[in-house]
Amino acid sequence: MSVFCRDVDTLHTQAYLLFGDEDFLRMFAESYASAMSAMRLVGEASKHGWLVDVHMGSGRLSRVWISSLAAFWPGMQALIGEEGASRHNCQRS
Mean pLDDT of 12-33: 86
In a domain, 1, yes or no: no
Return d(Cα 58, Cα 83) in angstroms, integer.
Answer: 30
The predicted-structure confidence for 32-82, as pLDDT tens digits, reads as follows 888 888 887 776 666 666 777 888 778 788 876 777 767 778 888 888 888
82: in domain: yes
The pTM of the full predicted model, rounded to 2 decimals, is 0.69
Quick one: average pLDDT of 13-20? Answer: 84
Domain assignment present for residue 31? The answer is yes
For residue 79, being part of any structural domain is answered with: yes
pLDDT of 4? 54
Residue 46 lies in a domain: yes
**CB proximity list for 30: less than 8 A, separation 6 or greater:** none
Identify which has the larger pLDDT, 24 or 46. Answer: 24
Given a cut of 50, whether residue 1 has pLDDT beyond it is no
Total domains in the chain come to 1
Would residue 2 count as lying in a domain? no
Q: Note the pLDDT of residue 10.
A: 67
Domain that includes residue 37, residue range: 7-92
